[in-house]
Chain A
Amino acid sequence: MFRASAIKEPPGDRVFLLLVYAFLTIVLLSVLYPLVYILSSSFSSPQAVISGRVWLLPVEPSLAGYKAIFDNPQVVTGYANSIFYTFFGVLINVCLTVMLAYPLSKSTFYGRSLIMVILVITMMFSGGLIPTYLTVKKLGLIDTRWAMMLPVALAVWQVIIARTFFQSNIPKELGEAAELDGCSDLGFLWRVVLPLSKPILAVLVLMYAVGHWNAYFDALIYLKSPDLFPLQIILRNILILNSIDASMMVDANKMAAMQGLRDLLKFSLIVVATVPVLAIYPFVQKYFVQGIMIGSLKG
């Protein structure tokens, strides 16, 4: 087998394969390079960054950018808030998703096709931004922590993924046996289904967690008090709107140094905001890929 493919390959095929490898290498490098550039810049000195001397490895390594971040009280509160929203948000998400997906996976559940229609309709139509905002406002959630969690308490797509998983991975016979033994539906869900569903629970936790950690728009429209702002809003203010506390700009002499630090801080902030999500990804990639596939092919 190996011999045949290594030696007898026609020249046309070898050229094709070479092109494929060249293409993939270009893709690989163009995705990787910006990430490396950000990382290296964040560990360089402010002077090296503004004079454009960083191109691959850190120049004049320093932690000045990271120090500036954690000296900034806004960033620290933002971080704490984001952790809060992500943790409790995901808790609500996963509970509601399982509560809806599990009954829908049972063929004995009367009315499940009606519920499915109700769910699928929401994927195609929505009230739109303004009516949704007015509803949230009417409920009195504006400028409360709930506004970050309740309006996105459930994603229909994830319900469908979870339902598909339960349907194909929990044998019907198991449920029937448990019923004969006098186990209630809730007991069965809690003691049998959930322990058997760790892969799908991991997928749900991840997909929802990424959503919460990266969310900024809900905060932008629903929150007003700065002490409730999640990290992404703080990032937007510093990185995109370029507004840093005016008190930081003490006198004109320090302006240049400040400008350098401000630029450096952006690179470090990007790293600090992204690392938590990226760090867990290699460990759960397998599940993640599974999740996308269930969702896309059988949805």
Chain B
Amino acid sequence: MKRHWQLYLLVLLPLAYIVIFKYVPMYGAQIAFRDFSPIKGFSGSDWVGMKNFADFVQTPNFWLLIKNTLLISLYSLAIGFPAPIVLALALNEVRSARFKKTVQMVTFAPYFISTVVMVSMIILFLSPRLGFIDLIVRSLGMESINFMGVPHYFRSIFVWSNVWQGIGYGAVIYLAALAGVNPDLYEAAKVDGASRFQKVLHIDIPGIMPAATILLILNIGQMMNVGFEKIYLMQNPLNTSTSEVISTYVYKIGLLGANFSFSAAVDLFNSVINLTLLLTVNYIARRVSENSLW
């Protein structure tokens, strides 16, 4: 240990960062059970037990928030999770290296667009005055629609724009998994007279299952944290009935309303759901397949 003192010196600064910016806030999460006062600090404020949680459950918005959060999450999961898999499987069938590369490069590019720009693009495209979507709607002989103002469309806009932005990035992992499939399997399938589609079904899909399972577990563990930054930017007074989720509520009540303890409690409530989901899904995955996080 003495011989490598320099290495121990190196880790001090990064570890200090982790402790200050990660562990101190974790310790600070106890304000969810207290009545936080800035003067008394994290551990000096008075205990109020579960009061903040009880208050949250009793707010008129409680069920709406839960419903919105869950619906957006499930919709995202149902569409956003398989989309990159489908793209990767399709790309894997392409024999022309150039076409494959072009599709990969183009679909990867939107990943670099910032959330602010992404939301601006959505608003521009869907605006009843400017966007090309509106041009299409009108050329089909329909009235212009103010998409961002109709609560009913909010989820679809959010989920499908995420697919647009993330599909290429998401496909990379599955392409790597497909590249790792044993070529002997394809040979054997050919000898057995399997069609291309059967090959995809019986070789490719099982080949990416381990990667897919892990990613699914991780996604579900983050389920209640649906793209807060993006949802917040997409919100307007007309669509809040479907767009208000737990994380946007935490931000508005907590930081804008300076109601620290209450919103820390809401946040903690959210995290507990996430952790429960993660543990449950991981347990199920370990039971039914060989793959799990631990």
Q: Are B110 and A185 touching (Cβ within 8 A)?
A: no
Q: Are A31 and B20 touching (Cβ within 8 A)?
A: no
How does the 8 Å CB contact mask read for A60-74 relative to B, with 1 for contact and 0 for none? Answer: 000000000000000
- Indicate whether A135 sits within 8 Å of B17 (C-beta atoms), given known contacts A23-B90, A109-B4: no
Cβ contacts under 8 Å, B99 to chain A: 21, 24
The answer, among A97, A156, A235, A263, for a CB contact under 8 Å with B130, is: A263
Chain B: interface size category: 35 or more
Q: Are A133 and B255 touching (Cβ within 8 A)?
A: yes
The answer, among A34, A134, A150, A156, for a CB contact under 8 Å with B121, is: A34
CB of B245, distance to nearest CB on chain A (Å): 13
State A202–B243 Cα separation when bound (angstroms).
38
Q: Are A129 and B254 touching (Cβ within 8 A)?
A: yes
In chain B, positions 180-226 with a C-beta closer than 8 Å to chain A are 195-197, 211, 214-215, 221
- Does A100 interact with chain B (Cβ within 8 Å)? yes
- Does A195 interact with chain B (Cβ within 8 Å)? no
Q: Are A154 and B14 touching (Cβ within 8 A)?
A: yes
How does the 8 Å CB contact mask read for B23-52 relative to A, with 1 for contact and 0 for none? Answer: 111111101000010100110000000000
- Does B53 interact with chain A (Cβ within 8 Å)? no
The number of chain A residues with a CB under 8 A from chain B is 91
The answer, among A28, A96, A221, A277, for a CB contact under 8 Å with B103, is: A28
Name B's interface SS. Answer: helix
> Which candidate, A164-172, A249-257, A289-297, is the interface stretch facing chain B?
A289-297
Q: Are A55 and B267 touching (Cβ within 8 A)?
A: no
> Which candidate, B60-68, B150-158, B161-169, B284-292, is the interface stretch facing chain A?
B161-169
Q: Are A115 and B25 touching (Cβ within 8 A)?
A: no
Q: Are B250 and A129 touching (Cβ within 8 A)?
A: yes
Cβ contacts under 8 Å, A221 to chain B: 255
- Indicate whether A100 sits within 8 Å of B14 (C-beta atoms), given known contacts A16-B197, A109-B7, A126-B22: yes
Closest to B256 in A: A221
- Does B94 interact with chain A (Cβ within 8 Å)? yes
Q: Are A273 and B117 touching (Cβ within 8 A)?
A: yes
How does the 8 Å CB contact mask read for A111-144 relative to B, with 1 for contact and 0 for none? Answer: 0000100110010111111111111101100000
State A184–B90 Cα separation when bound (angstroms).
51
CB of B144, distance to nearest CB on chain A (Å): 11
Q: Are A115 and B255 touching (Cβ within 8 A)?
A: no
Q: Are A274 and B114 touching (Cβ within 8 A)?
A: yes
State A83–B90 Cα separation when bound (angstroms).
39
- Does A214 interact with chain B (Cβ within 8 Å)? yes
- Does B79 interact with chain A (Cβ within 8 Å)? no
State A267–B132 Cα separation when bound (angstroms).
13
- Does A244 interact with chain B (Cβ within 8 Å)? no
- Indicate whether A130 sits within 8 Å of B31 (C-beta atoms), given known contacts A27-B107, A232-B114: yes
Cβ contacts under 8 Å, A186 to chain B: 6, 10
In chain B, positions 251-286 with a C-beta closer than 8 Å to chain A are 251, 254-255, 260, 263-264, 267-268, 271, 275, 278
Q: Are A31 and B109 touching (Cβ within 8 A)?
A: yes
Cβ contacts under 8 Å, B278 to chain A: 124
How does the 8 Å CB contact mask read for A18-42 relative to B, with 1 for contact and 0 for none? Answer: 0011011001101111110110000
CB of A62, distance to nearest CB on chain B (Å): 17
CB of A54, distance to nearest CB on chain B (Å): 8
Q: Are A135 and B20 touching (Cβ within 8 A)?
A: yes
CB of B136, distance to nearest CB on chain A (Å): 10
Cβ contacts under 8 Å, B81 to chain A: none
State A55–B138 Cα separation when bound (angstroms).
14
Sample 28 A-B pairs with CB under 8 A, ordered by A number.
Answer: A24-B90, A27-B167, A31-B106, A31-B164, A32-B106, A35-B109, A35-B110, A38-B121, A100-B15, A118-B15, A124-B275, A125-B271, A128-B29, A131-B25, A134-B36, A150-B21, A153-B17, A153-B21, A185-B6, A239-B116, A239-B123, A270-B120, A273-B116, A277-B112, A281-B109, A293-B173, A296-B173, A297-B177
**Given A28-B102, A124-B221, A130-B264; 16 other pairs, CB 8 A cutoff:** A12-B195, A17-B93, A31-B107, A99-B13, A103-B4, A103-B10, A127-B27, A128-B268, A129-B254, A130-B254, A134-B25, A138-B41, A154-B17, A186-B10, A270-B124, A297-B176
Which 7 A/B pairs are nearest by Cβ-Cβ distance? A127-B25, A131-B28, A214-B114, A239-B120, A100-B14, A128-B267, A131-B25
